[in-house]
Amino acid sequence: MSTVRSTLTDENRDITAGALQGALVDLLDLSLIGKQAHWNIYGKHFRSLHLQLDETVSTARNAADTVAERAIAIGVSADGRASTIAADSSVPKIEAGQIADTEVVSLFIEAYTAIISNMRERIDATDTADPVTQDILISITAELEKQSWMFQAELG
Amino acid sequence: MSTVRSTLTDENRDITAGALQGALVDLLDLSLIGKQAHWNIYGKHFRSLHLQLDETVSTARNAADTVAERAIAIGVSADGRASTIAADSSVPKIEAGQIADTEVVSLFIEAYTAIISNMRERIDATDTADPVTQDILISITAELEKQSWMFQAELG
Amino acid sequence: MSTVRSTLTDENRDITAGALQGALVDLLDLSLIGKQAHWNIYGKHFRSLHLQLDETVSTARNAADTVAERAIAIGVSADGRASTIAADSSVPKIEAGQIADTEVVSLFIEAYTAIISNMRERIDATDTADPVTQDILISITAELEKQSWMFQAELG
Amino acid sequence: MSTVRSTLTDENRDITAGALQGALVDLLDLSLIGKQAHWNIYGKHFRSLHLQLDETVSTARNAADTVAERAIAIGVSADGRASTIAADSSVPKIEAGQIADTEVVSLFIEAYTAIISNMRERIDATDTADPVTQDILISITAELEKQSWMFQAELG
Amino acid sequence: MSTVRSTLTDENRDITAGALQGALVDLLDLSLIGKQAHWNIYGKHFRSLHLQLDETVSTARNAADTVAERAIAIGVSADGRASTIAADSSVPKIEAGQIADTEVVSLFIEAYTAIISNMRERIDATDTADPVTQDILISITAELEKQSWMFQAELG
Amino acid sequence: MSTVRSTLTDENRDITAGALQGALVDLLDLSLIGKQAHWNIYGKHFRSLHLQLDETVSTARNAADTVAERAIAIGVSADGRASTIAADSSVPKIEAGQIADTEVVSLFIEAYTAIISNMRERIDATDTADPVTQDILISITAELEKQSWMFQAELG
Amino acid sequence: MSTVRSTLTDENRDITAGALQGALVDLLDLSLIGKQAHWNIYGKHFRSLHLQLDETVSTARNAADTVAERAIAIGVSADGRASTIAADSSVPKIEAGQIADTEVVSLFIEAYTAIISNMRERIDATDTADPVTQDILISITAELEKQSWMFQAELG
Amino acid sequence: MSTVRSTLTDENRDITAGALQGALVDLLDLSLIGKQAHWNIYGKHFRSLHLQLDETVSTARNAADTVAERAIAIGVSADGRASTIAADSSVPKIEAGQIADTEVVSLFIEAYTAIISNMRERIDATDTADPVTQDILISITAELEKQSWMFQAELG
Amino acid sequence: MSTVRSTLTDENRDITAGALQGALVDLLDLSLIGKQAHWNIYGKHFRSLHLQLDETVSTARNAADTVAERAIAIGVSADGRASTIAADSSVPKIEAGQIADTEVVSLFIEAYTAIISNMRERIDATDTADPVTQDILISITAELEKQSWMFQAELG
Amino acid sequence: MSTVRSTLTDENRDITAGALQGALVDLLDLSLIGKQAHWNIYGKHFRSLHLQLDETVSTARNAADTVAERAIAIGVSADGRASTIAADSSVPKIEAGQIADTEVVSLFIEAYTAIISNMRERIDATDTADPVTQDILISITAELEKQSWMFQAELG
Amino acid sequence: MSTVRSTLTDENRDITAGALQGALVDLLDLSLIGKQAHWNIYGKHFRSLHLQLDETVSTARNAADTVAERAIAIGVSADGRASTIAADSSVPKIEAGQIADTEVVSLFIEAYTAIISNMRERIDATDTADPVTQDILISITAELEKQSWMFQAELG
Amino acid sequence: MSTVRSTLTDENRDITAGALQGALVDLLDLSLIGKQAHWNIYGKHFRSLHLQLDETVSTARNAADTVAERAIAIGVSADGRASTIAADSSVPKIEAGQIADTEVVSLFIEAYTAIISNMRERIDATDTADPVTQDILISITAELEKQSWMFQAELG
């Protein structure tokens, strides 16, 4: 139940809500593992990746905010609690402790690949359900694919 | 094991590491429930609290970054993963779904009270173990106690 | 007749021009009633709504500028004169004189609902006629739906 | 009736309110025809006048805001709705459709002349009624007369 | 006695000096009670008023600086010491201790009313004595009357 | 061959790559002739067009950067070398030497018309191949059509 | 003869024009001797006065610009040529060559005194002729009297 | 009685509250005499000290704000009214009227000496009572001792 | 006689001083006629030239400041008084009163041509006398020749 | 033929024009291959070089603009079209397709070496022909040699 | 002997002065070797370390300024002359000439380790002597330990 | 031996390297004694000179960075270590301890005189050896001679 009247039909609202909640969880988890690696990374490329990861975090946080507020705007709530992220995220797990720079690159290529694949499905899912939401998901995906390239380019 | 040689004795490093890891988890959880409420809040005071909660989030994120990097600097790693936050946080849980503005005020008074109480203990614990870390914890606590006042003042 | 050669067929240009002129009038009227309420509002929530309404006005003015210049760019003129707004706007009327804060919230929920409903039709209408214009209308609608949520959330 | 107690006598308040409401309507109409010409203008001097008209709009909007808030501050309401502007403005009408750059210059010289003439009367009217309001009207008139010169200088 | 030669006759200088010294004391006291309320306020509207009061303080401090420097410029000294404010201010007293938000609104409406009434007399007094000083007092009064409206509008 | 794994099928990647490479060459050439005219222009409208052309250049450079990086992100390389631009651009040639202001206006209307026509085809081509790329091309086209209007409006 | 139609009667325009032209010449000369002293000054207080004189110059240049543009706006021309300044300025002459800091202070007290005395007459002269111009002259005089105090205060 | 629950024991809260209230009164008085001297000073070093005193005022105002909000945050109220400052300040009195630059230097050395001595006691008093408050007092004292040096260095 | 010991021989100092004083007078006169035209210009290109002339003035003022301070730095004084400018400037005279836009263009081409010719001689004169001064004169000439082009390009 | 009268003799103008046109083509090509590498680079040092190359591009673009406008200012035209760059550039060619980070470093060392060698000749050529142009070429060469060092330092 | 009266006992002042003078010399030397390496470094990680070393320098310079001014504020002088640094610094020496990136990392880890060890002793030494100075040393040490981690993390 | 290939002949490189290394040492020493005086100065002109000396330091640091990086760019290393400065600087020594304002002025006139004299020789030495380096030295000398004047002007 929501204080906001949806401008969508119930069916379209449910489809769109599912896409947005999924994106929210993935993006928040990306922001958390981005910081986790930002802190625990070491290796000859430490400084460059330490800075690059803050761009990952910044993009992920802004995108998460956008999709969460979009969910509210179409009449559903958003769930970005730690336990929900821990349970529902499709982002690969990161081990505790220090992590070498080469491992960071591999890990984030995997993470971006997983999220982008889901985002592509969410873009398809919202095509007829809500073109306004779809446009938001497309913009976020463009940015994620750009960042994904930058990690892949570092594989050497 | 860490790439950073600690300037502390092993015992002092362990005490300090415990205080920092505890603070990290609490502050990250505060930033997540801050956003959760920022999105799902409703009520006559929606706009004012919506903005106030972004200050909560901003402070919590910056403080979390500071304590995590302090942990690395003393020769331990930092753990800010979603599952760790979900398991270890001392911040009271927030329900999923929409949340009324009056409930938000009560909830955050509770949350600040819990974190501040822990921060006070961490200040004591690091007094002899590491005055540099203690000084960082004191500054964060000052800011948390200021924000806690602002929510208490809204009880009316 | 226009000095600008349209990149659209005559039929698509006419469909698109209709959507843009309709959006222009609605957005300009939203900016005018936004200021009207910004000035004449009173009540316990005066200050918060006084500021929120300036965001309404700012968004509406910028969006109106965008759609008017888009109309010119596809080879038609734009009509944003007071008499045209008074005659053609689909935004609910606002009474002269002072207006209570609670009435302001209701009034703007009604206004956003009316405009958004029209914008959704314009998005459909331009789907095949001109995807470039459609993309502009989608972005404006996303912002309007976000602001609409914020007034609905204040209903309490 | 107003929530604000006037610091003026009833007679002085009524005189002052009349001057302010008249100025408000003229300035809002100036901002609307400023944008109308900004969009629909063409001719060799398009770009220069397109930019100059945005200064007209910006000045008119700010001045309108100032006089409307002054009206509220002396205990009356302000009316800046589209229908009121359409009915009461003393600014010459502008035709719909494209408009040549030379016509724009003539039209705005006429518009400034009409408004300035009214502003001069409003300055006289408020001389004893309310020197605080008069000072505001004087500042706005100085700016309008400066902009009027700039259009006249372009007559060649 | 002053190091600055006045450009006014002795009589006009004395009249003007009286108006400026009176304004100085009132404005400094407004800045002090503005901060007093900014700190000690509580209630559901805490945050909004907490911020609004800082605008009160900022305006009062700048205006006090302007009138004090104007006094020196016409060849007299300015007295803004705590004991002078405590003795001469025409601003209503504020009680020590916490203060509810609704009381704050009432108190500041009273305070603005008292100061504005005095400012109006000072504007009259300096009309022939010194039009340069009068113009300064008029500008300050315009700002005070605007802020006074904003507190009155919150009475609901 | 690329270090970046495409998220598209081979066929869709090839279609999209073609659209992006075509856009890149056109936009880079637009930036080069924009500067060429910016330097060599003369005539009564010199200054206004000299400034307007720098906006052409700035938009073209940013858009070129965006489409080139998009090409890399979908797993192909980008070719923006002088010889490639000279060989493949669909932008009309500009003569060496000084160029009159009226000629500049005609030339750039022609240039924008040619590029926009190609961009419209690229938007169609990527509709099913890659909606993320399509969205980028739509945004660039909106900006190009706006700038095209501004040169057409100057024909007088 | 002017391209700008005056909003004043011929008599009032002539009175106002005289006041503005007089102010223009004085202010431009103040800006020139301000720079002359800024360059040639020496003495223990060199640096402080070197900086203070740039504030003199900055104020004088801005005020000169304002009064010259006001002259044009009321339908007369403005004359700020070197020969006119040399012939008509009422500012005391400054000797060529180096100048001691104490002499600078005396010289500028004299210069401000002369200009302010003239400005006071111009304020009187324009009182009924043109209140809009008068308001401009009053603001400039307030600033000149403030700067005059600062030089007088340095006499010790 | 306070709306804020203190995180300190009653005894520690009372000790800390005393230190903060004392600091508040001293700092506010410093800001008032800083402005008093800023306005009424004369002498060869007028300009340099006029500017230096504004730094005194700015530091004192910010520090006062910090200690007052800290008092509220630990559960007591703050008293910064003119009559309280006049009665309780430990800052030496300043005479009304003009004041020579050399006297200003002596006076502020005295004022800083008195306040710093009290601040040192307050640092000691809060050592065990509240290390968070102590840290705030230490930072303010560091800044006051720096400014005190700058006045002492001017004794020549 | 100067308080500054020159780093040049007497002969080189005299040659350099002559070049700098000549440049100073020309540049100050350029700044004065730049403003004269900025105010009194009219014609279809009013706005564009009005703005362009302010760039002329800004460059001339900054360059004048640079050469005057260079003169002091090599041990001579600088003379930038109105009477000196009126007597010694090599810039062509400008008539009083309104001036058409086409005349402004011709006049400033003439003015730049005259000054640049002198600057070229000053560059030669200082070649062996003082390479530091020469470098300053070269930079100023580069800027003057660029601005001269822009007026010549407007001849059409 | 040019609308700008040269301040140089025909012979000096031709020598200078040759130097400037040569520099223009080299700098524009540097900006194009800078972007080409910025996009297509990969390898462990991707991010650092990706950013460094944007500094290459930014410097090259600004320097190209400066030399082109200098050419116009001395009375010749500038040719920066794609076909001219492709034909006349002395910068080594870059292959199409992806390019490894180590190759990028080698390639740009070669490119800078070639351009700097030409720039040194151009500095010599303009020594007597036009010292103003020479000074511009010297400044650009200083920056190019600095950037060249930074690529050479990365050879390891 | 000092113009500043210390707020400390002679014994505490001497202890504190020793800690501050030691810190000053170490920090200034760190800033000098930071620049030395910033200039002479080479290797594959040149650019990243070149930038990182400027952060080292910036931190060291600001911290040196803070401790030197703190020394003056407690009534002693500060000695930061080259010969003093050369004689008293505890920072390891750096060889003249070029230096490889890997050597730079080792060298600065050594340098930070030495300085931090001394800073820790200075924190202990000032604990009872002067808590205000101690707080300054603690803040600087926190920053040094953070930068030390970043070099250690690059060891790979 | 250097990683950077010089664009100069061996002889010219050695001459240029000598000039740059000499300038580096002088400028770094100027920055160190600038700070030394900035901290230890006292006297009636303390504040003005305290600020002026920070401009000395800022200029010296930037110039030192420029000449050191120029040395690397021509293929030699730069030596700015404390022991090198202590051994090779041509700047007069400054005594430890407090220093009166009048002594500071004399000392810095002496210091600037010594450095400028050396810079003039370095300008001559690099005239044929490397005009690019010479241009850099000329710009720095211009700034040093300007600052030298400002200290000389304070001799009174």
Position C43 in a domain: yes
Q: Which tens digits make up the pLDDT trace of K101-131? A: 999 999 999 999 999 999 999 999 999 999 9
Contacts of G58 (CB under 8 A, 6+ apart): none
Given an 8 Å threshold on Cβ–Cβ distance, is H39 in contact with E86?
A: no
Averaged confidence pLDDT in chain J:
97
Domain region containing H99: 10-153
Q: Which tens digits make up the pLDDT trace of D139-156? A: 999 999 999 999 999 996
Spans of chain C, pLDDT less than 70: 1, 156
Residues of chain H with Cβ-Cβ distance to K132 below 8 Å are 123, 138, 141-142, 145
Q: What's the gap in Å between the CA of H131 and the closest CA on chain E?
A: 22
Given an 8 Å threshold on Cβ–Cβ distance, is E78 in contact with H28?
A: no
Q: What is the mean pLDDT of each run of 10 residues along chain I (156 residues)?
A: 84 98 98 98 98 98 98 97 98 96 98 98 97 98 98 91
Whether L61 and chain G come into contact, CB under 8 Å, resolves to no
pLDDT of residue B1: 53
The enclosing domain of L87 has a CATH number of 1.20.1260.10
**Helical segments of D3-130, H only:** 10-40, 46-73, 82-88, 101-129
Position L87 in a domain: yes
L91 DSSP assignment: S
Give CA angle at I80 (I75, I84), nearest 5°. Answer: 115
pLDDT of residue C3: 80
Are the beta carbons of J63 and F13 closer than 8 angstroms?
no
Whether A51 and chain C come into contact, CB under 8 Å, resolves to no
Q: Which tens digits make up the pLDDT trace of C112-150? A: 999 999 999 999 999 999 999 999 999 999 999 999 999
pLDDT of residue J97: 97
pLDDT score of G123 more than 60: yes
- G6 vs B94, residue with greater confidence: B94
Position F1 in a domain: no
pLDDT of residue J2: 77
B42 DSSP assignment: E
Of the partner residues A3, A74, A132, the one whose CB lies closest to the CB of residue C153? A3
Whether B39 and chain C come into contact, CB under 8 Å, resolves to no
Whether B38 and chain C come into contact, CB under 8 Å, resolves to no
Given an 8 Å threshold on Cβ–Cβ distance, is C48 in contact with B43?
A: no
Q: Which tens digits make up the pLDDT trace of K24-42? A: 999 999 999 999 999 999 9
Subunits next to K (3 or more Cβ pairs <8 Å) are A, B, H, J, L
Position A4 in a domain: no
Instruction: Report the share of chain L in percent with pLDDT over 90.
Output: 94
Q: How confident is the model at residue J39 (pLDDT cuts 50, 70, 90)?
A: very high
Spans of chain D, pLDDT less than 70: 1, 156
Subunits next to H (3 or more Cβ pairs <8 Å) are B, E, G, K, L
Q: Which tens digits make up the pLDDT trace of B117-155? A: 999 999 999 999 999 999 999 999 999 999 999 999 999
Closest CA to L4 of L104, L71, L89: L71
Q: Which tens digits make up the pLDDT trace of J48-75? A: 999 999 999 999 999 999 999 999 999 9
Whether J48 and chain K come into contact, CB under 8 Å, resolves to yes
pLDDT of residue F1: 53
Are the beta carbons of G11 and G69 closer than 8 angstroms?
no
Could you give the angle at which helices I131-152 and J131-153 cross, rounded to 10 degrees? 110
pLDDT of residue H93: 94
* Collapsed DSSP state (helix, strand, coil) of residue D153: helix
pLDDT of residue G1: 53
pLDDT score of E156 more than 80: no
Largest CA distance in chain A: 54
Position E79 in a domain: yes
Q: Which tens digits make up the pLDDT trace of J110-129? A: 999 999 999 999 999 999 99
Position B2 in a domain: no
Cα gap F120→C7, rounded to integer Å: 9
Best of J132, J135, J137 to mutate (most I CBs within 10 Å, chain I): J132
Closest CA to J149 of G99, L77, B102, H80: L77
Given an 8 Å threshold on Cβ–Cβ distance, is I136 in contact with L142?
A: yes
DSSP string, chain J: --SSPPSS-HHHHHHHHHHHHHHHHHHHHHHHHHHHHHHHEESTTHHHHHHHHHHHHHHHHHHHHHHHHHHHHTT------HHHHHHH--SPP--SS-EEHHHHHHHHHHHHHHHHHHHHHHHHHHHHH-HHHHHHHHHHHHHHHHHHHHHHHTT-
Q: Which tens digits make up the pLDDT trace of A60-85? A: 999 999 999 999 999 999 999 999 99
Of the partner residues A3, A70, A131, the one whose CB lies closest to the CB of residue C123? A131
**CB-based burial of residue L12 (10 Å sphere; 0-12 exposed, 13-18 middle, 19+ buried)?**
middle
Given an 8 Å threshold on Cβ–Cβ distance, is K153 in contact with B3?
A: yes
Q: What's the gap in Å between the CA of E56 and the closest CA on chain D?
A: 16
Position G4 in a domain: no
Q: What is the 3-state secondary structure (H, E, C) of chain F?
A: CCCCCCCCCHHHHHHHHHHHHHHHHHHHHHHHHHHHHHHHEECCCHHHHHHHHHHHHHHHHHHHHHHHHHHHHCCCCCCCCHHHHHHHCCCCCCCCCCEEHHHHHHHHHHHHHHHHHHHHHHHHHHHHHCHHHHHHHHHHHHHHHHHHHHHHHHHC
Complex confidence, ipTM? 0.96
pLDDT of residue E1: 53
Are the beta carbons of E147 and E112 closer than 8 angstroms?
yes
Q: Which tens digits make up the pLDDT trace of K54-99? A: 999 999 999 999 999 999 999 999 999 999 999 999 999 999 999 9
Position J52 in a domain: yes
Residues of chain J with Cβ-Cβ distance to I148 below 8 Å are 4, 73
Q: What's the gap in Å between the CA of E150 and the closest CA on chain C?
A: 7
Spans of chain F, pLDDT less than 50: none
Subunits next to G (3 or more Cβ pairs <8 Å) are D, E, H, I, L
Please state the domain count of chain F: 1
pLDDT score of L22 more than 90: yes
Chains L and K touch (3+ CB pairs under 8 A): yes
Q: What's the gap in Å between the CA of A107 and the closest CA on chain C?
A: 34
Averaged confidence pLDDT in chain C:
97
Are the beta carbons of E155 and E109 closer than 8 angstroms?
yes
Whether L74 and chain J come into contact, CB under 8 Å, resolves to yes
Given an 8 Å threshold on Cβ–Cβ distance, is C153 in contact with B41?
A: yes
Whether F150 and chain D come into contact, CB under 8 Å, resolves to yes
Residue of C nearest to F155 (CA): C3
How many residue pairs from chains I and J have C-beta atoms closer than 8 A?
36
Q: What is the radius of gyration, based on Cα positions, of chain C? A: 16
Are the beta carbons of D49 and D105 closer than 8 angstroms?
yes
pLDDT of residue K80: 98
Token output for C65: 């500028």
Residue of G nearest to I83 (CA): G86
Token output for D139: 């500042």
Instruction: Report the share of chain G in percent with pLDDT over 70.
Output: 99
pLDDT of residue A1: 53
User: What are residue A99's DSSP bridge partners?
Assistant: A41
Q: How confident is the model at residue B108 (pLDDT cuts 50, 70, 90)?
A: very high
Of the partner residues D43, D44, D47, the one whose CB lies closest to the CB of residue F150? D47
Given an 8 Å threshold on Cβ–Cβ distance, is H72 in contact with E96?
A: no
